[in-house]
Amino acid sequence: MSLLRRSLRGLSPIEARIDLQLLHDSWRHSPGSLIAQFIALVLLGWMVHDWRMPHWRWAVPALGLLAVWGAVVMRVREFNRFGITESGYGVWRTRLLTWHVLEGTLWGLISIALLGVAGNEWRMAIVTAAIVYGFTIMLVTIHDWAVAFAGSMPVLLLVAGRLLSERNESSHFMALVLVAALLTCMAVALGVNRRLREAVLLRHENAGLVLQLRDEINKVTQAKARAEAADRQKGEFFAAASHDLRQPLHVMMLLSSALKPSIHGDEGFDLLRKLQTALGSLGSMFEKMFFVARIDAQRVDYRATALPLSELWRRLDSEFSVLCQSKGLNWRLDPTHEWAQADDHVLDRILRNLLNNAVRYTESGEVRLRARKRGPWVICQVWDTGVGIPKQYRHRIFDDYFQAHNDGRLSSEGLGLGLAVVRRLSLLGPTPVRVLSRPGRGTCFSVRLPRLVPATPAEAPLDEAIGLSGLSSHEASGGGAVSAPGASSLHTAPPPELARSGQGLVLLIEDDPQVRESTALVLRQGGWQVAAAANPDEAMGEMATMQEDGRLIDGEMPVALVSDHRLGLDITGLQVLGQLRYEFGEDLPALLLTGEMPAGLAEEALHAGVQLVSKPIDAEGLIALLNEATARAPTDAA
C-alpha cells in the first residue's frame, strides 16, 4: 500500500478490494491500543509530577494526546455506523495517517521534555520506551506499512534529535540506537507487509476463482437441467403423440390397399408395391422411435419376476426359425431349463433386437441363441457368422442412429435404433450387455441375468405345466409373469409319484387362483389333505365344507400352515399365519413362500418361528420341507 495513496483509482478490482479491506481492519483494530496508551499516560504523569521542570512542557503534549484520542473515538463511532465506501477511501486514509503522525509526534514531545531533566537511569528508560512504542505501532498496523512508518517515525526521530543535540558520547550512542531501531522498524514493516499483502492477494484470487468455478458449475448444472427437461419434454411429446401420429399412417396404409382394384397394368401395380413397402418401412421406423421415446419418458417399467427361459426360447424359435429360413441361414437354438430373475417383456425385446441385427448382417452361415450357466448368473448369448464389427466402431454401436455398415444411410437398413433400444432397456434393470466380434467372422452379444435355482430335470415338465416355481400371487398378476396352461394340461402331463410320508390337513393361503390350485394339487399328490383359500376366513369355511361332505373328520385340526407372502395391499403372509396360529395353536408349523426378499423379512420370519421358503421351489422340495416341519413339531412343542 503506497504511503500517499488517496484513492483506489488505477488499481485492479482485487487490489482495490484488498486496500479497502485493510483500511477497514486498521480502523477496526488500531483503536484498541488507546486504552493501553491512556493508562501509560496516567502512570507517567504520576511518576513525573514532582520532577523539577515546568510541567506545561509535558502536560501540553499530554492534553494534545487526549484531544487526538477523543477525535479518534468520534471517528470510530462514525466508522462503526456507516463503514467506509470506495469513494470515502481517501478521506479515511488521511484521517488514519494524521492520527498516527500526531500521536507519534506528541509522544515524542513528551519524551524530549522528560529527557531534559531526567537522570541517566531515566534517560535509558525513556529511550527504551520510545523503541518499544515504535515497534508496538509497527506490530499493531503491520498490514499497512505506511501507517506503521507514520506512527513510529516521529517519536524516534524527535528523541534521536534531542540526544544528538547533547555533547556527550553516551547520548550520541543512544541516538544511533534509535536511528537503527527506526531503520529496522521500516525494514521489518516493509518485509512483513509485502508477504502479508501477497498472501491476502492470493487468498482473494483463490476466492475469486472459487466463485467463478461455482458460477460455472451452476451454469453447467442449470444447462444440464434444462437439457434434461427438454429431453424429457421431447420424450413426453413423442410418447403422448404416438397415437396421433400413427393414425394418418394407418389411414395411408388402408387407402393404399384400397387403391389396388382401381389400378390396371404392371407399372401401376409396381408403383403401388413400392408405396406399400415405403409405408411399411415408415411404420417400422415410427414404432422404434416411439418405443425409444417411451423409454426416455420413463414410461417403460422393469418388473423382475422368476422367468423360465424355456418359454421365451419357444417364442423366439417360432419367429426366427422362419426368418432365418427365408434368408437361407441356419437357425440354431440350444434348449435350456434355466430360470432367471428378469422382466419377460424387456428381455424379450432385447433378445429380439439382437437377433434381428444378427439376421440382418449375416449373409451366410448361422444365427444361434443359447443360455449358459455361470455361477449366480445366466448368460444369454446371440451368435452370428456375419460381417462383424470393426474395432474402431465397437464403442459407438449402441449410440442412437449409428450404423457401422450403412455409410450411405440407406433407409432399407433401418434407422440404427435397434442397439440403442437394447442399451436403454439394459439400463432399466440388472441386464448388462457385452459384445465380442471379429470382422469377417461374426459377433456375439451377451446379456447377463441373475440366475434362480431351477427345478430338478425330473420335475421340469411339472413346473412348466402348473407354473408353481417362481410365481407369487403378485407376480402372476403383473406383466411378464409366467402363464401356466389350463387344468387339462395338469391331467395330460401328471407329475411323477411323490413320497406319501405326510398325513394330515394343511391350510394353504394363496390369493392367485391358478397358483393356489396348482400348489394344492402338489400337496395332495404328496399325501396331504388341503384346505386352500385366498384368506383365513375362506380357509376355515373350506374346512367346514370338507367336514360336511365327509372328506374331513369332525374336529380334525390342521397340522401345518402354508401361505404366500404377498396377499394383496392390506395383509401379508406373516399376518395371516399369526391369525391362523391364534386359532389353531401357536406352535403350528408354518411355511412362508416368497418370490422376493424385502428388507427385514428374514428377521421377522425367524422371530415368528416361520420357515421362509424362496421361490421357485420344486414339488419334491416343498413336500420335503413340509414333512420335515411336521416331523419336528411334537419335539418343539415339548
3-state helix, strand, coil in the chain (%, to 5): 60, 10, 25
Strand partners, 436: 444
Residue 115 corresponds to which cell in the numbers above? 529527557
Q: Is the backbone of residue 562 left (phi > 0), alpha (psi -120 to 50) or beta?
A: beta
Confidence of residue 638 (pLDDT cuts 50, 70, 90): very low
Q: At what angle do helices 145-164 and 89-115 cross, to 10 degrees?
A: 20
CB 361 within 8 A of CB 405: yes
For residue 122, give the amino acid letter: W
* C-alpha R_g of the chain: 48
Residue 446 corresponds to which cell in the numbers above? 451377451
| Burial class of residue 488, CB neighbours in 10 A (0-12, 13-18, 19+) | exposed
In tens, the pLDDT along 63-81 reads 998 999 899 999 989 988 8
Residue 380 has pLDDT above 50, yes or no: yes
Cα(454)–Cα(202) distance, rounded to whole angstroms? Answer: 67
What residues contact 249, with CB distance under 8 A and at least 6 apart?
Answer: 279, 282, 283, 286
CB 365 within 8 A of CB 394: no
For residue 512, give the amino acid letter: D
For the segment 402-420, the average pLDDT, to the nearest whole number, is 56
Task: Check the CA dihedral 558-562-565-569 and report its sign.
Answer: negative
- Find cell 439394459 and name the residue: 426
* Range scoring the smallest mean pLDDT among 483-492, 504-513, 561-570: 483-492
Q: Determine the pLDDT at residue 281.
A: 65
Cis peptide before 616 (omega within 30 of 0): yes
Q: What is the 3-state secondary structure (H, E, C) of 534-562?
A: CCHHHHHHHHHHHHHCCCCCCCCCEEEEE
Of residues 55 and 38, the one with the higher pLDDT is 38
3-state secondary structure of 597: coil
For residue 443, give the amino acid letter: T
Residue 435 corresponds to which cell in the numbers above? 459384445
Residue 338 corresponds to which cell in the numbers above? 434355466
Task: Check the CA dihedral 90-96-99-100 and report its sign.
Answer: negative
Task: Check the CA dihedral 199-200-202-203 and report its sign.
Answer: positive
3-state secondary structure of 433: strand
Residue 169 has pLDDT above 60, yes or no: yes
The CA-based diameter of the chain, rounded to the nearest angstrom, is 142
For residue 522, give the amino acid letter: V
For the segment 302-323, the average pLDDT, to the nearest whole number, is 88
Residue 464 has pLDDT above 50, yes or no: no
For residue 227, give the amino acid letter: A
Residue 149 has pLDDT above 90, yes or no: no
CB 471 within 8 A of CB 482: yes
Q: Determine the pLDDT at residue 538.
A: 85
In tens, the pLDDT along 210-263 reads 888 888 899 898 888 888 777 767 666 665 555 456 556 655 665 666 677 778
- Can you give the pTM of this predicted structure? 0.38
Q: Determine the pLDDT at residue 332.
A: 93
Of residues 493 and 51, the one with the higher pLDDT is 51
Neighbours of 181 (CB within 10 A): 21
Cα(72)–Cα(102) distance, rounded to whole angstroms? Answer: 11
DSSP H or E segment with residue 162? helix 145-164
The rounded mean pLDDT for the chain is 76
Q: Determine the pLDDT at residue 547.
A: 82
CA dist 613 to 291, 358, 490, Å? Answer: 38, 41, 24
Neighbours of 46 (CB within 10 A): 9
Q: What is the DSSP string of 215-233?
A: HHHHHHHHHHHHHHHHHHH
Confidence of residue 28 (pLDDT cuts 50, 70, 90): confident
The closest of 315, 384, 383 to 347, measured between CA atoms, is 315
* Range scoring the smallest mean pLDDT among 363-372, 374-383, 445-454, 500-509: 500-509
CA dist 209 to 212, 216, 217, 365, Å? Answer: 5, 10, 12, 62
CB 359 within 8 A of CB 324: yes
Cα(389)–Cα(364) distance, rounded to whole angstroms? Answer: 16
Strand partners, 529: 505
Q: Determine the pLDDT at residue 355.
A: 92
Q: At what angle do helices 13-29 and 169-258 cross, to 10 degrees?
A: 130
DSSP H or E segment with residue 339? strand 339-342
Residue 463 has pLDDT above 50, yes or no: no
Q: How many residues make up the chain in this entry?
A: 638
CB 143 within 8 A of CB 26: yes
Neighbours of 494 (CB within 10 A): 12
CB 88 within 8 A of CB 144: no
3-state secondary structure of 168: coil
In tens, the pLDDT along 109-129 reads 888 888 877 777 788 888 888
CB 334 within 8 A of CB 371: yes
Beta-sheet strands, E only, within 460-523: 505-509
Q: Determine the pLDDT at residue 619.
A: 66
CB 417 within 8 A of CB 289: yes
